[in-house]
């Protein structure tokens, strides 16, 4: 199956990172790294496609509370499933986002509510860099990708845009892909999910008539400033992406070399 000639109806933002160019003229090997949304809404027609992709390992970045309220992933064959929850149920930004979605009282979140949802999303991306479970989960995922036995590797969170998007950025940076190429792939989520996003907004506002679509929309999109917030945090805390990989994620030079050996043509 050639890169990017397939689609999953139940995960419309799914894509192979194969074919993306590195700064030194190589390319990410097709069929090795696959990013998706959660797989619980795959259709019956999607399953043969997933079977041809044949992931050896599926990384699920969701917290157990998210898994509990979602349909179980639909898988083909017997891939190794690794649960690496990147989530902090006690973090005020996460609880604020939940409160907005669930219609809870926002009095306790006066400052966050004043700053708005885009600022909350940027705070979550900064947490991706510094949060304990984020560093543990993303670091473990990179080590799996460096392990040839775990390839092809499929990774997802719930919507397949934020945690999945940052993990894709981490992996692609480690492989030597330019930031502009990474950013373009990250932003493809909006194009691939445009019709679904509008359906979700209608459903959310029907269920919650008091919910302003302008408040909800930033939750359903990816935006350049979200990715910028994570990159800025990497520079602020670690000085460089290489130092973030090493000191933040525990990814050694040997692991980066294995990543490139296994994943680049």
Contact 157, 86 (CB under 8 A): yes
Range of the domain at 201: 15-263
CATH, residue 67: 3.90.190.10
Strand partners, 58: 81, 154
pLDDT tens across 189-242, in order?
A: 999 998 888 888 788 777 777 777 777 788 889 999 999 999 999 999 999 999
Task: Decide if 170 is inside a domain.
Answer: yes
pLDDT tens across 171-200, in order?
A: 999 999 999 999 999 999 999 998 888 888
* 157 in active site: yes
For the segment 52-58, the average pLDDT, to the nearest whole number, is: 97
Contact 50, 75 (CB under 8 A): yes
Task: Decide if 4 is inside a domain.
Answer: no
Task: Decide if 130 is inside a domain.
Answer: yes
Task: Decide if 1 is inside a domain.
Answer: no
Q: Cα–Cα distance between 96 and 47 in angstroms, integer?
A: 36
Task: Decide if 173 is inside a domain.
Answer: yes
Contact 153, 33 (CB under 8 A): yes
**Two structure tokens written together for 148:** 């040839």
CA distances from 245 to 160, 172, 180, 181 (A): 22, 12, 19, 19
Catalytic residue among 157, 216, 259, 263: 157
Number of domains within the chain: 1
pLDDT tens across 126-183, in order?
A: 999 999 999 999 999 999 999 999 999 999 999 999 999 999 999 999 999 999 999 9
Task: Decide if 224 is inside a domain.
Answer: yes
Q: Which of 69, 63, 53 is nearest to 11 (CA)?
A: 53
Task: Decide if 89 is inside a domain.
Answer: yes
Strand partners, 35: 15, 155
């Amino acid at each position: 199956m050639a890169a990017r000639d397939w689609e999953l109806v139940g995960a419309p933002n799914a894509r192979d990172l194969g074919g993306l160019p590195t700064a030194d003229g190589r390319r990410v090997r097709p069929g090795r790294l696959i990013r998706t949304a959660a797989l619980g809404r795959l259709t019956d027609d999607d399953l043969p496609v997933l079977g041809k992709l044949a992931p050896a390992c599926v990384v699920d970045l969701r917290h157990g509370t998210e898994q509990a309220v979602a349909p179980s992933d639909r898988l083909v064959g017997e891939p190794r499933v690794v649960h690496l929850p990147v989530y902090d149920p006690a973090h005020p930004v996460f609880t604020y986002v939940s409160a907005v979605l669930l219609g809870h009282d926002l009095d306790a979140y006066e400052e966050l509510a004043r700053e708005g949802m885009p600022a909350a999303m940027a705070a979550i991306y900064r947490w991706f860099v510094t949060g304990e479970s984020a560093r543990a989960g993303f670091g473990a995922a990179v080590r799996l990708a460096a392990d040839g036995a775990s390839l092809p590797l499929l990774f997802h969170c719930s919507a397949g845009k934020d945690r999945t998007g940052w993990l894709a950025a981490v992996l692609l940076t480690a492989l030597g892909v330019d930031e502009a190429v990474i950013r373009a792939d990250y932003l493809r989520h909006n194009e691939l999910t445009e019709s679904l996003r509008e359906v979700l907004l209608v459903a959310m506002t029907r269920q919650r008539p008091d919910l302003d679509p302008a408040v909800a929309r930033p939750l359903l999109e990816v935006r350049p400033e979200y990715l910028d917030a994570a990159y800025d945090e990497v520079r602020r805390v670690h000085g460089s992406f290489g130092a973030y990989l090493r000191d933040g994620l525990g990814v050694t030079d040997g692991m980066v070399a294995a990543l490139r050996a296994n994943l680049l043509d």
